[in-house]
């Protein structure tokens, strides 16, 4: 889906007007992260695509961009978001219990466009909370498994306790016949017999077919930069490496300019862009 399509989709509603959604379920993921399942408490929003984001409003506190972490194909009107508490708004959303009504605007931005990778191998690399926006890619690939070649998931966290979706990750890890999953933590930890090191380590060991692979990266910017460098070193073209960018977003629809990054507005032209576009923008130091 192009940003022009997204513009049309949001313009058909009222993109600046939050609509009420109720927290139907709240799942604690880690010490500072939860997954919220939201159901419409009024007019539902338009369907979303994997990789897009919503603006979530904590009433009386503020509004922030949060990606969808649920499967678009299985949404059934619900929105699923995974939120790490880092400041005032994310903490208010994190702390909100079932039954609380939040405001939601969206969906906004570009998608991972997993359909365009049909017939190719998928390499999905997530760092920390970056697994949240990538979860719909994995779920989409598993739901249409025959459409893709190899599917490789590499997920990293600082400690074993900081993996999101731990039960799901463990289930993916034993699914050896159609999914290759490697989990890695930054430092050795008691009780962890898996990989230790940054996600770049398993990625460096991975042998892949560079002309027939599409990569999806999400996590802190240095992580995406190092991973992209590894993939380029393996011969992958920059256009086949997709990343999700994060910038301070306010309007979400390309009007206010807060998320400007060089010539692009990340809310409108991103958050998902290919490395050919992202690389020169991320190598410029922002003042
Ligand atoms: C397109 C997009 C999608 C996003 N998806 C998600 C998501 O799925 N889940 C999620 O938890 N967050 C996501 N974020 C990040 C989220 O929007 C920010 O965490 C949020 O804006 C912080 O607002 P706040 O008021 O809680 O904290 P603020 O008061 O704005 O920030 C508090 C402190 O945390 C720091 N901070 C801000 N953002 C982050 C961050 N992402 N990581 C670490 N430190 C940070 C700030 O520099 C500041 O020091 C996304 C951002 C974008 C742009």
pLDDT digits (tens, 9 = 90+) for 243-257: 999 988 999 988 889
Q: How far is the CA of 86 from the centre of ligand 1 (A)?
A: 6
The per-residue pLDDT for 75 is 81
Q: What is the DSSP letter of 218?
A: E
Percent of the chain at pLDDT above 70? 94
**pLDDT score recorded for residue 176:** 79
Model confidence at 44, pLDDT cuts 50, 70, 90, reads very high
The set of protein residues with a Cβ atom below 6 angstroms from ligand 1 is 53, 62, 64-67, 82-84, 86-90, 129, 132-133, 246-247, 249, 271
**75: buried, middle or exposed (CB in 10 Å: 19+, 13-18, 0-12)?**
middle
Q: Which pLDDT band holds residue 11 (cuts at 50, 70, 90)?
A: very low
- Closest Cα partner for 282 from 238, 237, 240? 238
Nearest-atom number in ligand 1 for the CA of 271 is: 1
> What are the pLDDT digits (tens) for 192-235?
999 999 999 999 999 999 999 999 999 999 999 999 999 999 99
pLDDT at 165 over 90: yes
Give Cβ neighbours of residue 35 (< 8 Å, ≥ 6 apart).
26, 27, 29, 69, 80, 81, 82, 83, 164, 165
Pairing of β 121-127 and β 151-157: parallel
d(CA 256, CA 262): 15
What's the pLDDT at 287? 57
- 286 pLDDT tier (thresholds 50, 70, 90): low
In angstroms, the Cα distances linking 85 to 30, 33, 54, 89 are 10, 6, 17, 8
Give the lowest-confidence range in 2-11, 13-22, 23-32: 2-11
Name the residue of 29, 79, 86 whose CB sits within 8 Å of the most ligand 1 atoms, as the mutation to test its pocket: 86
Residues 6+ positions from 74 with CB-CB distance below 8 Å: 139, 143
pLDDT of residue 72: 86
Residue 4 confidence (pLDDT): 40
**All residues at 6 or more sequence positions from 239 whose CB lies less than 8 Å from its CB, including other chains:** 274, 275, 276
Say which DSSP state 159 is in: S
- Closest ligand 1 atom to Cα of 61: 25
Distance (Å, whole) CA 107 – CA 121 = 28
- Nearest residue (by CA) to ligand 1, atom 32, is 87
Out of 12-21, 27-36, 247-256, the most confident range is: 27-36
Q: Order across the sheet with 33-40: list the strands.
A: 62-67, 53-58, 101-108, 19-28, 33-40, 79-84
């Amino acid at each position: 889906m192009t940003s022009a399509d997204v513009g049309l989709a949001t313009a058909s509603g009222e993109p600046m007007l939050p609509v009420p959604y109720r927290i139907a379920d709240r799942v604690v993921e880690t010490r500072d992260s939860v997954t919220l399942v939201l159901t419409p408490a009024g007019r539902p929003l338009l369907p979303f695509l994997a990789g897009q984001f919503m603006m979530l409003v904590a009433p009386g506190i503020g509004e922030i961009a949060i990606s969808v972490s649920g499967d678009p194909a299985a949404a059934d009107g619900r929105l699923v978001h995974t939120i790490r508490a880092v400041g005032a708004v994310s903490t208010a959303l994190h702390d909100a219990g079932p039954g609380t009504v939040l405001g939601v605007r969206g969906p906004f931005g570009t998608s991972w466009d997993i359909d365009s990778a049909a017939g190719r191998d998928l390499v999905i690399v997530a760092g920390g909370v970056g697994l949240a926006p990538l979860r719909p890619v994995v779920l989409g690939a598993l739901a249409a498994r025959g459409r893709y070649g190899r599917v490789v998931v590499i997920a990293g966290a600082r400690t074993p306790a900081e993996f999101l979706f731990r039960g799901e990750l463990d289930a993916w890890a034993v699914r050896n016949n159609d999914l290759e999953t490697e989990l890695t933590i930054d430092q050795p930890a008691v009780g962890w017999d898996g990989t230790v090191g940054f996600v770049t380590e398993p990625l460096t060991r991975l042998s892949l077919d560079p002309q027939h692979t599409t990569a999806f990266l999400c996590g802190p910017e240095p992580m995406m930069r190092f991973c992209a460098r590894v993939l380029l070193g393996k011969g992958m073209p920059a256009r086949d490496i997709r990343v999700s960018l994060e910038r301070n977003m306010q309007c979400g629809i390309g009007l206010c300019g807060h998320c400007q990054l060089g010539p692009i507005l990340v809310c409108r032209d991103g958050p998902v862009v290919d490395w050919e576009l992202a690389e020169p923008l991320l190598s410029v130091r922002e003042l």
